[in-house]
Amino acid sequence: GENVEQHPSTLSVQEGDSAVIKCTYSDSASNYFPWYKQELGKGPQLIIDIRSNVGEKKDQRIAVTLNKTAKHFSLHITETQPEDSAVYFCAASMWSNYQLIWGAGTKLIIKP
């Protein structure tokens, strides 16, 4: 079955710098890759997603890139701000499958 690995488990960056979180997946049939942000004590919120027919997607300071050949995708956050501090999860699924396979999460710490 599908497996998703996420790195690093903790990432500390200076405010204003960029942060990059990487995920790799095992099943080449996976075609949907969302990223979620979870603040302490709350449910995860979708922040951006990408499908396999697209290589990159941007939304203001957030971008996701997908390399289907290498089977990895990455979340890029530019000009980080204190409110970006949270746990970020990646996931993968196949179009016909309603299930998401989750990464283990990355705790992002923004240092003032």
Partner 1 sequence: DGGITQSPKYLFRKEGQNVTLSCEQNLNHDAMYWYRQDPGQGLRLIYYSQIVNDFQKGDIAEGYSVSREKKESFPLTVTSAQKNPTAFYLCASTATDTQYFGPGTRLTVL
The residue ranges that bind partner 1 (CB under 8 A) are 32, 34, 36, 41-46, 49, 89, 93, 95, 98-100, 102-105
Distance in Å, CB of 102 to partner 1, minimum = 5
82 DSSP assignment: G
d(Cα 100, Cα 36) in Å, to the nearest integer?
12
Peptide bond before residue 8 is cis, with ω within 30 degrees of 0: yes
Instruction: Report the residue number, 57 or 102, with the smaller CB distance to partner 1.
Output: 102
Distance in Å, CB of 42 to partner 1, minimum = 6
Instruction: Report the residue number, 31 or 74, with the smaller CB distance to partner 1.
Output: 31
Instruction: Report the residue number, 31 or 80, with the smaller CB distance to partner 1.
Output: 31
Distance in Å, CB of 32 to partner 1, minimum = 5
How many angstroms separate the Cα of 62 from the Cα of each of 26, 41, 45, 48, 85? 24, 23, 14, 8, 14
d(Cα 18, Cα 27) in Å, to the nearest integer?
29
Instruction: Report the residue number, 30 or 80, with the smaller CB distance to partner 1.
Output: 30
